[in-house]
Structure 1
Amino acid sequence: MKSTKGIFALICAILVTLFSANTSANPLHNETVTFKVYGNCEMCKKRIESSLKGNSAIVSADWNVKTKMIKVVYDPHIITLDKVHQLIAEAGHDTEKVKANEVTYKKLPGCCQYDRKK
């Protein structure tokens, strides 16, 4: 009888842990998206990824310098995909959906300024 109560308590503890308030750490709630972000170099990579990693709803962000594609894992219950694009644009980089503000873009180092006619 004692072992049955112990097993039940253990199962309850596991369930509480799985369904805790920290949903961004729970992979059941996360979505993964890949989309184009314009930039040129490793400084761009750091800036683009940093623009997202400060947000608790972003689990991970990895931008590829060669392909110009970013892979973002995020919790859609906390942040929208549109907001993810907006955060990157606020850092000065165009995405396939949102263009960065001209003033912010012009503040990027010269090596980070890409051809915006694309």
Structure 2
Amino acid sequence: MKILKSTVLVLALLMVSLTFAQNKNERASLEVDGVCLMCKKRIEKASLNTKGVKSATWDVETHELKLIFDERKTNLETITKSIVAVGHDTKELKAIDAAYETVHPCCKYRDEEVNDDHKN
């Protein structure tokens, strides 16, 4: 009987610890500049290539990037650096000119004429 009680106690503690250990996913969103579906693909790919990012969805209309990531493996600063490295500005960081110049001409979101073309 004593062994049964000990076994039940150990199993209960194990289940409780596993429940707490599983929820390390953080949800967050960032504003990321871009204008088109090519931008969407580039922004999402840069985010997903960051170790620990499980989901990344960027909205062309709102410029909102919704993220789910493992906070044990990465953070928003690291994800933001990955995005600016491929040429897209965020509110927190701006892409350097060399990175911005690598985006396709139709993706030059800093150019008013390109922005106007995408609005029509």
User: TM class by shorter-chain length?
Assistant: 0.7 to 0.9
Match of 1:78 among 62, 73, 76: 73
SS of equivalent residue, structure 2 residue 67: strand
Rounded to whole Å, the distance in 1 between the matches of 2:37 and 2:13 is: 46
Greater CA radius of gyration, 1 or 2? 2
Rounded to whole Å, the distance in 2 between the matches of 1:100 and 1:76 is: 24
| Aligned position for 2:32 | 37
SS of equivalent residue, structure 2 residue 42: helix
SS of equivalent residue, structure 2 residue 57: strand
SS of equivalent residue, structure 1 residue 47: helix
For structure 1, list consecutive stretches of 5 or more residues without a partner in the other structure.
21-25
SS of equivalent residue, structure 2 residue 81: helix
Alignment of 1:42-81 (within 5 A): 42-81=37-76
TM-score (norm 2): 0.74
Identity of aligned residues (%): 31
| Cα 1:13/1:109, change in 2 over 3 Å | same
Rounded to whole Å, the distance in 1 between the matches of 2:62 and 2:16 is: 41
For structure 2, list consecutive stretches of 5 or more residues without a partner in the other structure.
113-120
Rounded to whole Å, the distance in 1 between the matches of 2:15 and 2:51 is: 23
Specify the code of the residue in structure 2 equivalent to 1:59.
K
Instruction: Say how many residue pairs are matched.
Output: 111
SS of equivalent residue, structure 1 residue 62: strand
